[in-house]
Amino acid sequence: MKDALLLAAVNPRVQGVLLIGAKGTGKTTAARGLIPLLPVIEHSTCQFGCEPSMALTHPEDLCDNCREKLARGEAISFRDAQKIVELPLNATIDDVVGGASVRAGLEQQRLRFEPGLLAHAHHNILYIDEINLLDEAIVDAILDAAATGYCVVRRGRLASSYPSEFVLIGSMNPEEGELRPQIMDRIGLRVNVSSCSTLPERLEITHRMRKYRDDPVGFVENYSTQTLRAAESIERARRAVAETELSPEAERSAVALTSELGIESHRAEIVLMEATRAYAAIDERGVAEIADVRAVAPLALRRRKSKLSGFEEAARKEDEDIASAIKRVSGSEQVRGAPTPRANGRRKDRVKT
């Protein structure tokens, strides 16, 4: 579980983490434990999503407001630690995507759009506890944003859009229902979380919980050195992951694994390679090898098996039936004296010199 969360913090391209396990196994605690480890990143101040890097690479794509700010020497971004934005189960669709500002309506007597949680999740981590219990409309909105990187909202006369690129972390108890396949496909790493089994581990959990409740500040200070060291490691790995490559053998191994398992989705090997790069970057190695692929493969390939095998078999049988029918009909047409094929675009018996 910790490995998967660290890989997502280092490389957002792993497309998030899904924690699957029984109640009380530490899923939410682990996800929230990422907060002091997350790196400082650049956040855009533009409502249209203009990024600071665009000023150097594609200045023509900046909006008018950002171009004016840059001309005046003003910044269009600020640096701050990445955050975890939690989406509660009782959130409404307007809370998630946004809607009309009540305050603007009452004080200024005019309609004004107010972005929702998906706007705050931009370049951050969106955490959803009990993700399998979300309302269908909210799941659809999250799927759209995850697929396009933008959230488009229409509420009567109000219409707006804003950037929303985030790392999705979800936790769920499978006893309470399955997760929709569409959103499952958008989450890269999947972890089956179980409780600690040994007596010393279970005792240590109870002791730490008691110490934290008695003195939260002192408890955090006791682990400040380890926390700072882990945060620095994540920040270094995040800077290095873009330059980390897979060896040709590792790439072939990743593709061979997905093929051997009969996994149809190409997202599987994409996520597997991105997770492998992150794994090597954490170890401060510039090239990932086959051993790195094997280390992260269970996280990236779990629950990837398609359930369409019955459908595909029926589709193949149908294609065979259609091909047989074509042959039978073609043969009977020839027997009945069907017209012979044209030659050079004309009927053979009408060719003139």
CA–CA distance, 67 with 52 (Å, rounded to integer): 11
Compute the CA torsion angle 46, 51, 54, 59 (nearest 10 deg).
0
CB 11 within 8 A of CB 270: no
CA–CA distance, 90 with 11 (Å, rounded to integer): 30
Report the sign of the C-alpha dihedral through residues 186, 187, 189, 193, in that order: negative
| Catalytic one of 13, 155, 236, 267 | 267
CA–CA distance, 208 with 325 (Å, rounded to integer): 71
CA–CA distance, 189 with 4 (Å, rounded to integer): 7
Query: Is residue 155 flagged as an active site residue?
Result: no
List the one residue out of 350, 230, 249 whose CA is nearest residue 293.
249
Q: Which residues are catalytic?
A: 267
